[in-house]
């Protein structure tokens, strides 16, 4: 029941917002639908905490501690983004960058995107997971090109083609997986693509086929995670799309893609052993973290900068899951949570910062504190948090990942340290002049909704100081599932 | 026995036709020709899927054959034709550099695909198992086409051809994926083409051309 609501509400919202069009209350309706989804997700969480994992709808849907925590996170960030986007999009309209028709498209597609991501998280069917991932891509393509500028069209085209090709590789991987599974589980009753069923027989699946399948699945879903060298679409899409879209792409979609990779990894490990998949994830993760850290130096656009920072952090998470083991997995899950909270709040403030200055070029943004202390402090604190300064939660997870890496694979330590250090120097030296200094920029025509920013940052801070036992137990259960 | 042997031969013939069309696509300049070739690819897929369905007696496969006929032979080529007519791009042709080199690279890809598919073919039990290599080759050739072409429409046709290859891989290795998934994939594909249609107009409006040379300003400084 809760599950039906979690999936049904965003879809109903999509239709409703598409039909109602650009009425005055469309933005409020968007918030209301997101709030309802979050409430439904909260009930789902309660149920899983009380009764453990559940399988519903002829085993087609599956909820366990691992995905339910991502469902809660997705619904939560979805709500805060909807709250943030209400004034943000009005200001954009005021500046003449949007018309009511495009606003309608935005609201409707935002809900569709949320629905697709929740479906991807909750489905037990690896094929449906693929379909939902593709749907999530398609629903955001037109959002990236919402402003219809040359640059945004180019970014959207790149996003579509690269992710389309990438995800086609994932489909081939899924076909191979089905091929291996069909020999064990048979075609009858459509159980051969159900993750729980596959997980039960994973030790008996043909290793050679699964190894090959994993390569394709990792390349495919890895493109969406933004792993180097398949990351080219990510900074463009983040920089050229409207800010709420950048926030959900970075905070949520990348997580969901990584979720898909991990689900596949669990299956493949059961068949060919943990060595190869783990090593592949570690290599891709380290490469992404290091490459992205060096690219950070060369950025001039504020949203591009944080796009690259997302690649770096996704790399670190991928690396953590590649390490495996209870501690690294725990740290990876924690990092997923804090990164998506922090990064979305940074995009919120970065969006308003560029609205205030009238440009996304960092050289032309300065003195944010003078114009609006909330925007200035939000950006500063967010950047400090994402750079892994204590006492924020990112520090806790990065520290755990680093110490585990030191113990188990010492050779990776210098790479990690270089990535952390370079990213720190690059981001801090760019954010500092934007926040402080002198400016003639004027206040925004409508007061921005920055409550979400500070709620997110407070949560990240709280997670850094003290993880509640319920949450810790939850992460541990999820980490055990991943193996 | 004779029937199934004949059938296997026929399927191999169809599969090689599919591969031939992929090569033809690599060397065609005119957009309209490419769409026709794409429709032919769909027709071959429809034929081979129907043959397999008939041989294996699977109702599901008949459905997916019907879906192929509707979507890939009729709907998508029609939409694409309408699109290029509206854009006034039906006589567009693009200069292709180095067809011989592209062909040679294509050949190497085919050999690579066959090598990769060898172990899977050994394990498969379907009548079409020998064609898995061809399916993979079609995917890779479509990929090559997307890389070498510069026009938006041509890249999309490459994308769709890649999906054809994937579909062929699914039928030849496993007699097709479960129906729900196939429907989902078909829906995604249809939506993708619609979105791209909207996109073409947006690109044209902004750049007065569908040539992707213009789309190269977002680069690292």
A153 contacts chain B (CB < 8 A):
yes
Size of interface A-B (CB pairs under 8 A): 124
Question: In angstroms, what CA-CA distances link B129 with A308, B8, B111?
Answer: 43, 10, 17
Q: What is the C-alpha to C-alpha distance for residues B59 and B54, in angstroms, rounded to an integer?
A: 9
Quick one: what percent of chain B has pLDDT higher than 90? Answer: 24
B30 is written with which tokens?
A: 């005119």
| Residue among A209, A207, A185 nearest A196 (CA) | A185
* CB contact at 8 A, A234 and A125: no
Contacts of A131 in chain B (CB under 8 A): 181, 184-185, 187-188
Helix/strand/coil percentages in chain A, nearest 5: 80, 0, 15
Contacts of A291 in chain B (CB under 8 A): none
A297 contacts chain B (CB < 8 A):
no
A58 contacts chain B (CB < 8 A):
no
B70 contacts chain A (CB < 8 A):
no
Query: Is B181 close to A127, i.e. CB distance below 8 A?
Result: yes
Question: Would the pLDDT of B72 be above 50?
Answer: yes
Query: Is B195 close to A142, i.e. CB distance below 8 A?
Result: yes
Higher pLDDT pick, A237 / B196: A237
A298 DSSP 8-state letter: T
Q: Which residues are paired to A62 by β-bridges? A: A55
Spell out where A120-218 has E strands.
none
A181 contacts chain B (CB < 8 A):
no
Q: Which residue of B has its CA nearest to A186?
A: B174
CB within 8 Å of chain B, chain A residues 106-125: 125
pLDDT in tens, B89-102: 766 667 666 788 88
A143 is written with which tokens?
A: 């959002």
3-state DSSP call for residue A301?
A: strand
Query: Is B124 close to A179, i.e. CB distance below 8 A?
Result: yes
Q: Would you write out chain A's pLDDT as a tens digit for each of its 483 residues? A: 778 888 899 999 999 888 887 677 888 999 999 999 999 999 999 988 888 888 888 888 999 888 898 999 999 999 999 999 999 999 998 888 888 888 999 999 999 999 999 999 999 999 999 999 999 999 999 899 898 888 898 899 889 989 988 888 999 999 889 888 887 777 665 678 889 888 888 888 888 889 989 999 999 999 999 998 889 899 999 999 999 999 999 999 999 999 999 999 999 998 888 889 999 999 999 999 999 999 999 899 999 999 999 999 999 999 999 998 899 999 999 999 999 999 999 999 999 999 988 889 998 888 888 888 899 999 999 999 999 988 899 999 999 999 999 999 999 999 999 999 999 999 999 999 999 888 777 778 788 888 999 999 999 999 999 888 888 888 898 888 887
A84 φψ region: left (φ > 0), alpha (ψ -120 to 50), beta (else): alpha
> To the nearest whole angstrom, how far is the Cα of A148 from the nearest Cα of chain B?
7
A107 is written with which tokens?
A: 């609201």
pLDDT in tens, B148-192: 887 888 888 898 999 999 988 888 878 777 877 888 888 888 888
* CB contact at 8 A, A64 and A53: yes
3-state DSSP call for residue A436?
A: coil
Query: Is A172 close to B185, i.e. CB distance below 8 A?
Result: no
Contacts of A135 in chain B (CB under 8 A): 188, 191
Query: Is A128 close to B180, i.e. CB distance below 8 A?
Result: yes
0.90 exceeded by the pTM?
A: yes
DSSP A6-54: HHHHHHHHHHHHHHH-S-TTHHHHHHHHHHHHHHHHHHHHHHHHHH--E
Upper half-sphere CA count for residue A23 (Cβ side, 13 Å): 10
Q: What is the C-alpha to C-alpha distance for residues A416 and A421, in angstroms, rounded to an integer?
A: 8
> To the nearest whole angstrom, how far is the Cα of B183 from the nearest Cα of chain A?
9
Q: Which of B188, B205, B213, B216 to mutate to probe the A interface, most A CBs <10 Å?
A: B188
Query: Is A161 close to B146, i.e. CB distance below 8 A?
Result: yes
Residue A144: CB atoms within 10 Å: 27
pLDDT in tens, B198-220: 888 888 888 777 776 666 666 55
- pLDDT score at B221: 47
Helical pair A65-94 and A100-122, crossing angle rounded to 10 deg: 170
Phi and psi at B93, nearest 5°, equal -135, 155
Contacts of B178 in chain A (CB under 8 A): 127, 190, 192-193
> To the nearest whole angstrom, how far is the Cα of B69 from the nearest Cα of chain A?
21
B122 contacts chain A (CB < 8 A):
no
Point out the residue among A168, A176, A295 whose CB comes nearest to the CB of B163.
A168
Q: What is the C-alpha to C-alpha distance for residues B8 and B3, in angstroms, rounded to an integer?
A: 9
Phi and psi at B65, nearest 5°, equal -65, -45
Q: Which residues are paired to B95 by β-bridges? A: none
3-state DSSP call for residue A390?
A: coil
Contacts of A182 in chain B (CB under 8 A): 174
B177 contacts chain A (CB < 8 A):
yes
Contacts of A178 in chain B (CB under 8 A): 170, 174, 177
Q: Which of B140, B146, B177 to mutate to probe the A interface, most A CBs <10 Å?
A: B177
Nearest 5 degrees, angle CA A264-CA A268-CA A273?
Answer: 145
Q: Which of A125, A127, A300, A308 to mutate to probe the B interface, most B CBs <10 Å?
A: A127
Question: In angstroms, what CA-CA distances link A391 with A194, A223, A458?
Answer: 41, 32, 11
Point out the residue among A131, A151, A175 whose CB comes nearest to the CB of B217.
A151
Question: In angstroms, what CA-CA distances link A435 with A206, A354, A386?
Answer: 56, 12, 16
B20 contacts chain A (CB < 8 A):
no
> To the nearest whole angstrom, how far is the Cα of A253 from the nearest Cα of chain B?
18
Query: Is A158 close to B196, i.e. CB distance below 8 A?
Result: no
B209 contacts chain A (CB < 8 A):
no
> To the nearest whole angstrom, how far is the Cα of A11 from the nearest Cα of chain B?
16
Point out the residue among A151, A165, A190 whose CB comes nearest to the CB of B178.
A190
Least confident of A68-72, A286-290, B8-12, B15-19: B8-12
Query: Is B178 close to A179, i.e. CB distance below 8 A?
Result: no
Query: Is A142 close to B198, i.e. CB distance below 8 A?
Result: yes
* CB contact at 8 A, A357 and A365: yes
B53 contacts chain A (CB < 8 A):
no
Q: Residue with structure tokens 């879809």?
A: A11
Residue A23: CB atoms within 10 Å: 12
Q: Which of B218, B219, B220, B221 to mutate to probe the A interface, most A CBs <10 Å?
A: B218
Residue extents of the structural domains in chain B: 2-220
Q: What is the C-alpha to C-alpha distance for residues A346 and A247, in angstroms, rounded to an integer?
A: 8
pLDDT in tens, B99-135: 888 889 999 999 999 888 887 777 777 777 778 889 9
Query: Is B173 close to A127, i.e. CB distance below 8 A?
Result: no
């Amino acid at each position: 029941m809760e599950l039906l609501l979690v999936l049904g509400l965003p879809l109903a919202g999509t239709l409703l917002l598409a039909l109602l069009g650009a009425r005055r209350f469309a933005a409020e309706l968007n918030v209301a639908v997101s709030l309802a989804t979050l409430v439904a997700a909260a009930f789902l969480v309660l149920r899983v905490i009380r009764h453990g994992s559940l399988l519903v709808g002829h085993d087609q849907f599956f909820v366990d501690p691992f995905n339910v925590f991502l469902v809660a996170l997705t619904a939560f960030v979805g709500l805060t983004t909807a709250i943030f986007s209400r004034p943000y999009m009005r200001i954009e309209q005021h500046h003449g960058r949007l018309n009511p028709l495009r606003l309608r498209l935005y609201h409707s597609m935002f809900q569709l995107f949320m629905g697709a991501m929740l479906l991807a998280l909750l489905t037990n069917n690896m094929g449906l997971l693929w379909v939902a991932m593709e749907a999530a891509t398609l629903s955001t393509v037109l959002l990236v090109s919402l402003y219809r500028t040359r640059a945004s069209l180019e970014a959207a085209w790149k996003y579509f083609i690269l992710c389309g090709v990438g995800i086609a590789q994932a489909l081939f991987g899924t076909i191979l997986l089905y091929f291996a599974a069909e020999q064990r589980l048979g075609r009858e009753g459509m159980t051969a693509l159900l993750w729980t069923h596959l997980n039960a027989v994973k030790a008996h699946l043909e290793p050679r086929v699964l190894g090959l399948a994993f390569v394709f699945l990792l390349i495919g879903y890895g493109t969406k995670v933004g792993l180097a060298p398949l990351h080219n679409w990510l900074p463009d899409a983040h920089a050229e799309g409207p800010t709420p879209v950048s926030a959900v792409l970075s905070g949520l979609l990348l997580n969901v893609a990584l979720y898909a990779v991990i689900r596949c990894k669990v299956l493949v490990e059961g068949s060919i052993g943990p060595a190869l998949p783990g090593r592949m994830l570690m290599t891709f993760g380290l490469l992404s973290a290091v490459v992205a850290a060096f690219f950070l130096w060369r950025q001039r656009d504020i949203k591009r900068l944080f796009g690259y920072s997302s690649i770096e952090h996704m790399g670190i998470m991928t690396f953590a899951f590649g390490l495996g083991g209870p501690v690294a997995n725990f740290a990876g899950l924690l990092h997923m949570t804090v990164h998506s909270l922090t990064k979305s709040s940074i995009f919120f403030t970065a969006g308003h910062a560029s609205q205030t200055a009238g440009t996304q070029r960092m050289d032309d943004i300065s003195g944010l504190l003078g114009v609006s202390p909330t925007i200035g402090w939000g950006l500063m604190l967010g950047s400090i948090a994402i750079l892994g300064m204590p006492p924020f939660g990112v520090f806790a997870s990065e520290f755990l990942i680093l110490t585990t890496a030191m113990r188990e694979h010492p050779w990776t330590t210098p790479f990690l340290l270089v990535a952390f250090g370079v990213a720190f120097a690059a981001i801090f030296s760019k954010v500092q002049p934007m926040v402080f200094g002198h400016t003639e920029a004027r206040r925004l025509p409508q007061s921005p909704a920055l409550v979400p920013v500070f709620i997110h940052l407070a949560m990240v801070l709280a997670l850094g100081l003290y993880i509640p036992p319920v949450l810790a137990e939850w992460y541990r259960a999820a980490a055990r599932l991943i193996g | 026995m004779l029937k199934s042997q004949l059938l296997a031969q026929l399927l191999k013939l169809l599969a090689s036709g599919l591969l031939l069309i992929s090569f033809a696509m690599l060397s065609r300049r005119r957009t309209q020709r490419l769409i026709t070739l794409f429709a032919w690819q769909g027709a071959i897929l429809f034929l081979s899927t129907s043959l397999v369905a008939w041989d294996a007696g699977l109702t599901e496969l008949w459905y997916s054959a019907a879906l192929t006929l509707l979507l890939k032979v009729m709907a998508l080529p029609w939409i694409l034709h309408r699109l290029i007519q509206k854009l006034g791009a039906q006589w567009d042709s693009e200069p292709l550099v180095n067809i011989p080199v592209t062909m040679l690279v294509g050949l190497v890809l085919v050999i690579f695909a066959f090598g990769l598919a060898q172990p899977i073919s050994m394990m498969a039990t379907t009548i079409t198992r020998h064609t898995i290599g061809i399916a993979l080759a079609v995917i890779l050739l479509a990929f090559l086409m997307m890389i070498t072409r510069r026009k938006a429409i041509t890249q999309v046709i490459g994308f769709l051809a890649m999906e054809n290859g994937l579909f062929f891989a699914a039928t030849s290795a496993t007699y097709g994926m479960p129906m729900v998934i196939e429907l989902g994939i078909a829906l995604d594909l249809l939506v993708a083409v619609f979105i791209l249609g909207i996109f073409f107009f947006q690109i044209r409006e902004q750049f007065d051309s569908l040539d992707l040379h213009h789309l190269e300003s977002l680069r690292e400084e």
